[in-house]
Structure formats: C-alpha cells, structure tokens
Amino acid sequence: MKILVTGGAGFIGSHLVEALVEEGHGVRVLDDFSTGRVENLHAVLADVELLEGDCADPERAAAAVRGVEAVFHQAALPSVARSVADPLPTHRAGPTATLTMLVAARDEGVARFVYAGSSSVYGDTPTLPKREDMETHPLSPYAAGKLLGEHYARLFARLYGMETLTLRYFNVFGPRQDGTSPYSGVISRFVEVLLAGGIPVVHGDGRQSRDFTYVANAVAANLLALHAVGLAGQAVNVATGRRVSLLELLETLARLTGRPAAAQQAPPRAGDVRHSRADLGRAREVLGYAPAVDFEEGLRRTVAWLRERRQSSSSGAEEAGESRSCAAD
Ligand SMILES: NC(=O)c1ccc[n+]([C@@H]2O[C@H](COP(=O)([O-])OP(=O)(O)OC[C@H]3O[C@@H](n4cnc5c(N)ncnc54)[C@H](O)[C@@H]3O)[C@@H](O)[C@H]2O)c1
C-alpha cells in the first residue's frame, strides 16, 4: 500500500515509518521538523518519500495525500506544558492540522485515517482504569485539541464514510524520544539527567502515576489499524494496562543506570493529571491489540539506546548536563 505518515520524522512517527517500510509499504512522510529530525529516519531514508511542510497548510496537505490509501496522522506539538504557556501554536499543529489533513484525505478519496490521540483527554476523572466510554475532561489546551481532533475523525467516518480511528496513546516512551527538551517525555528526561550525573526534578509528591507504553506497542497498534474493519470513527486506548508512579519509575531507572534514586521536589504543574491507567478491552476487541513489550523491557531498551547515543555523541554530556532538572508529564 501507499501510506502517508504525518509527523513521520518524530519519535513515534519514525518508528512507525520503519515498521511500514519493513512490511513492504510505500511510505511518504509529511513533517515540518518543528520537533522531528531527519536523523530519526536515517535507516529508511532511501525508501521513504520525504515532504517538508505544515499539515495545517491545505496545499501541502493535498500534495501529501495524493495517491495514498491510508494516512497515519502523528503530527502535533505533543506537550502539555508548552500548550499551557502558549496555546495557539498547539492548536494550529493540533486540531487545525488534523482537520486540514482529514479534508485533504476526503477530497483524495483516501479510505483510512488513523489519528494519534492521547490519554490526556480523560483528564482528572478519578475512575481507573480509563475506559473509552468514560466522560472526557481535558485539563490543558493540548488535551482539548487532541479531543477535538477525535471528534473530527469520528465525524469524517459518519459524514463521509471514511474508516477513521483514534488511538489514545498513554505516555509513550522509547529510543529517539528527546530527553534534552523541557517538553519531552519524563522517562527520557529522567534517564538523560541520571546518565549526566544529575538529580531529576519531580513535580508534586512523585506519587502521580502513568500507564507507560513502550513505543513498539504503539507502532503495533497502528499496524493492526491498517487492516482492521468497522473502525467507524471509534477511539481505543493504546497502553500497557499497568500503573507506575514516578517514584517507582525513578527507582527502576536508578537501578538500570547505576545511580542513586534521589529526586528534587518541585511544585505540581498546571494541566497535569494525577493518575492514569488504561482499560485495554476495546483495543483487544477492535484491533486484537495486546502489549508485546512490557514496561521493564521497554525501559532497558530505552536506557541502552540513550547510553549508546551519549557515548557516540561528543556533545551529549554537555547538553544533558545543562538540563539537570526534569519534570513529569
Ligand atoms: N509521546 C507520547 O507519549 C504521546 C502520548 C499521547 C499522544 N501522542 C501523540 O502522538 C503523536 C506523536 O508524538 P511524538 O511523541 O512522536 O512527538 P514528536 O514531537 O516526536 O513528533 C511529532 C512530529 O510532528 C511534526 N509536526 C509537528 N507539527 C507539525 C505540523 N504542523 N506539520 C507537519 N509536521 C508537524 C514534528 O516535527 C514531529 O516530527 C502526536 O500527535 C502526539 O500528540 C504522543
């Protein structure tokens, strides 16, 4: 199949592109490189058609969907903190870009559109595990935008008969997630700081918990969505199905990096949710999804990758050394 991956130069997108190439598909990437990097695609660059541009630009979107049979829409500015500080760019790269891509896909007659949603749409509803039929309660402009994107994806199934699906990712982590940015995922940031000999900063009491999901599991859910039938605009959780607190995470990472499990405490951050854990019943039913790589194995692979990258990059030590603090998503 000919497939478009938006945000394909990003963390999750680049893993998905590799898997699609491996399965023999023709892959096009549309990315504006706002957070993505061409190096993320170095292993498959010769096999991929790379388009630079903004998904919110209708002309770029139309060019990107030409001749494709399926779209995996991964592009977004995936940071709660950034969206709280500056909501407009998050909105443009979020729901505006999603609607633009959906319209372009509809006009091109693309049959299938898989949208990268987020567990952040559940917000602080106290009930665990999170089920897709629960009320949503976004706490940040990022989460509100992710939810709006879901509504558009559902509407395009209903109004135009497209096969659309939202995959609600729960805290995805793994190689290529940028740990040097204050906006990046908590696991990469913790590991970067630990490997640099620093002490991670934990916002709040550290007992907040997440259902951390190794990136290969998110990729597997996308691959299943390529062939599943009767998607009908639904949303399904993509996670591990297990809840781990930040303090537990820090202890495990300290063990894996050989560093003390010390933390600097900082005030809680606006827009953060307290606890998160997914129910995976619908993902199993709709996609036949089950997490193949468990949390500890995912952490081992992530630490190994970050350690190797640090060793092979002469500037790595300085970069991470500067960022001695890190916060939890
Ligand atoms: N990483 C997670 O834990 C997580 C959790 C829930 C949802 N998600 C969603 O998964 C998707 C991928 O996230 P990620 O963690 O790989 O982030 P990422 O920042 O590594 O990837 C996003 C990619 O989109 C590109 N991009 C951003 N705005 C764009 C635009 N307007 N036009 C074209 N390209 C654009 C970036 O350059 C980047 O390559 C996002 O939609 C995000 O909201 C991620």
CB of 74 closer than 6 A to ligand 1? yes
Q: Among 233, 287, 285, 241, which Cα is nearest to 117's?
A: 233
Q: How far is the CA of 6 from the centre of ligand 1 (A)?
A: 9
Whether 6 and 138 share a structural domain: yes
Strands 244-245 and 209-210: antiparallel
pLDDT at 179 (0 to 100): 75
- Count structural domains, the chain: 2
CA dihedral 12, 13, 14, 19 (to 10 degrees): 90
Whether 259 and 147 share a structural domain: no
Half-sphere CA count of 217, side-chain side, radius 13 A: 28
Give 4's strand partners: 28, 71
Q: Among 320, 191, 308, which Cα is nearest to 261's?
A: 191
Q: How far is the CA of 25 from the centre of ligand 1 (A)?
A: 21
- Domain membership of residue 312 (yes or no) is yes
- Domain membership of residue 282 (yes or no) is no
CB of 77 closer than 6 A to ligand 1? yes
Atom of ligand 1 nearest to the CA of 329: 3
Q: How far is the CA of 75 from the centre of ligand 1 (A)?
A: 4
How many residues appear in the chain?
A: 329
Give strand ranges (E) for 14-111: 26-31, 48-52, 70-73
Q: Among 185, 176, 179, 173, which Cα is nearest to 322's?
A: 179
Q: Please give the full DSSP string across 169-204, using - where no structure is assigned.
A: E-SEE-TT--SSSTTS-HHHHHHHHHHTT---EEET
Atom of ligand 1 nearest to the CA of 169: 6
Whether 52 and 68 share a structural domain: yes
pLDDT at 178 (0 to 100): 82
Whether 21 and 160 share a structural domain: yes
Q: What is the residue range of 225's domain?
A: 2-172+213-238
- Beta carbons of 324 and 193 less than 8 angstroms apart: yes
Whether 95 and 231 share a structural domain: yes
What global pTM score does this model have? 0.94
CB of 36 closer than 6 A to ligand 1? yes
Q: What residues are labeled active site?
A: 142
Work out the angle between the directed axes of helices 215-225 and 11-22 (0-180°, nearest 10). Answer: 50
CB of 118 closer than 6 A to ligand 1? yes
Q: How far is the CA of 82 from the centre of ligand 1 (A)?
A: 13
CB of 9 closer than 6 A to ligand 1? yes
Whether 161 and 32 share a structural domain: yes
pLDDT at 183 (0 to 100): 62
In tens digits, what is the pLDDT along the chain, a chain of 329 residues? Answer: 999 999 999 999 999 999 999 999 999 999 999 999 999 999 999 999 999 999 999 999 999 999 999 999 999 999 998 999 999 999 999 999 999 999 999 999 999 999 999 999 999 888 999 999 999 999 999 999 999 999 999 999 999 999 999 999 999 999 999 877 666 689 999 999 999 999 999 999 999 999 999 999 999 999 999 999 999 999 999 999 999 999 999 999 999 999 999 999 999 887 778 899 999 999 999 999 999 999 999 999 999 999 999 888 855 444 444 333 333 34
Atom of ligand 1 nearest to the CA of 178: 20
Strands 235-238 and 163-169: parallel
- Domain membership of residue 123 (yes or no) is yes
Q: How far is the CA of 260 from the centre of ligand 1 (A)?
A: 32
Ligand 1, residues 4, 6, 12, 114: which to mutate, most atoms within 8 A of Cβ? Answer: 12
d(CA 192, CA 200): 9
d(CA 314, CA 329): 29
Q: Among 208, 223, 201, 198, which Cα is nearest to 322's?
A: 198
- Sorted by sequence, the CB contacts under 8 Å of residue 257 that are 6+ apart come out as 191, 194, 195, 303, 307
- Beta carbons of 264 and 201 less than 8 angstroms apart: yes
- Domain membership of residue 85 (yes or no) is yes
Backbone angles phi, psi at 122, to 5 degrees: -75, -30
pLDDT at 313 (0 to 100): 80
We report the CATH number of the domain holding residue 8 as: 3.40.50.720
Backbone angles phi, psi at 67, to 5 degrees: 80, 5
Whether 255 and 234 share a structural domain: no
- Domain membership of residue 32 (yes or no) is yes
pLDDT at 328 (0 to 100): 36
Whether 67 and 191 share a structural domain: no
Half-sphere CA count of 258, side-chain side, radius 13 A: 4
Ligand 1, residues 4, 11, 18: which to mutate, most atoms within 8 A of Cβ? Answer: 11
- Domain membership of residue 298 (yes or no) is yes
Whether 103 and 227 share a structural domain: yes
We report the CATH number of the domain holding residue 302 as: 3.90.25.10
| Amino acid making up residue 85 | A
- Domain membership of residue 281 (yes or no) is no
pLDDT at 326 (0 to 100): 34
- Domain membership of residue 223 (yes or no) is yes
Whether 139 and 74 share a structural domain: yes
d(CA 152, CA 170): 20
Whether 192 and 308 share a structural domain: yes
pLDDT at 185 (0 to 100): 85
Whether 75 and 133 share a structural domain: yes
